[in-house]
Chains A and B, each alone.
Chain A
Amino acid sequence: MPAGDAFTPDQLYDIERAVRNAEETSGLHFSVYVGGADSETRPFAIELLNELDDPDSSILVYVDPAGRRLEIVTGSLARRQLSDASAGLAALTMQTSFATGDLTGGLVTGVQQLGAHAHQPPLLHANNEPHKL
């Protein structure tokens, strides 16, 4: 591992796999940013979300290890699938791991949880045909 990298290749792979799984489960775009903020963390996280290709359908997880801050930002469409309460639960999970120094474990578990909460089961009644007895 090159000196100074935040994650080893194996850790990066684990996080990327969790992100892919969450995207497949929810149909939303997930992005994870780990680093310091130029300003307040929340506005900075919103700026990062707006830089994504489809911010409305995206969920950004922002972690500031130095400032010990975590922000989860959901786009306007993603918010319909992932409520703020569910995001808060995932934030609590990540917060617990981060407090023990486990950045990778917290991100993997948290992103998986976000994807599971944002999962929308297929609508079986979407077809407007009347029931046939």
Chain B
Amino acid sequence: MIVELSGHSLLVFVGIPALVIAVLALLVFASSIASGPRYRPGLSWWAPPVWINGPTATKPDPANLPEMPELTSAPGATATAGTGVARTLGGASASW
């Protein structure tokens, strides 16, 4: 037996359920769409680097600094210049 569906029946039995499903799906995914891509460990990282509270100004390039005569005359002075005092750093590491 073949049931003939009228336009009104199609609207009630197909259109309305489809509309309800679409609204529910929109409500479910609205928050993730609004917040953008989320970090998922193990997958690729997409964003450019972010440095919060970083250096206020770029330090001068040591290659562009004026030369100091007393240092340039001493052999090996350029090898130690700019290294500064050896510092003892601390901290911790972790991975996930």
Contact = CB atoms under 8 A, between A and B. Distances in A.
Main secondary structure of the interface of B (DSSP, over half): loop
Interface string A1-43: 1011111100010011001000000000111111110000110
Contacts of A71: 91-93
Given A6-B47, A6-B50, A34-B49, A91 B90 contact: no
Interface size class of B (residues with CB under 8 A): 20 to 34
Interface string B32-73: 000111111110111111111111110100000000000000
Main secondary structure of the interface of A (DSSP, over half): mixed
A72 B38 contact: no
Interface in A53-91: 53, 55-56, 59, 65-76, 78-79, 82-84, 87-88, 90-91
26 contacts: A1-B36, A4-B48, A6-B50, A31-B53, A31-B54, A33-B51, A34-B47, A34-B52, A35-B49, A36-B45, A41-B93, A42-B93, A65-B45, A66-B44, A67-B95, A68-B95, A70-B93, A70-B94, A71-B92, A73-B89, A74-B89, A74-B90, A84-B92, A91-B93, A91-B94, A98-B41
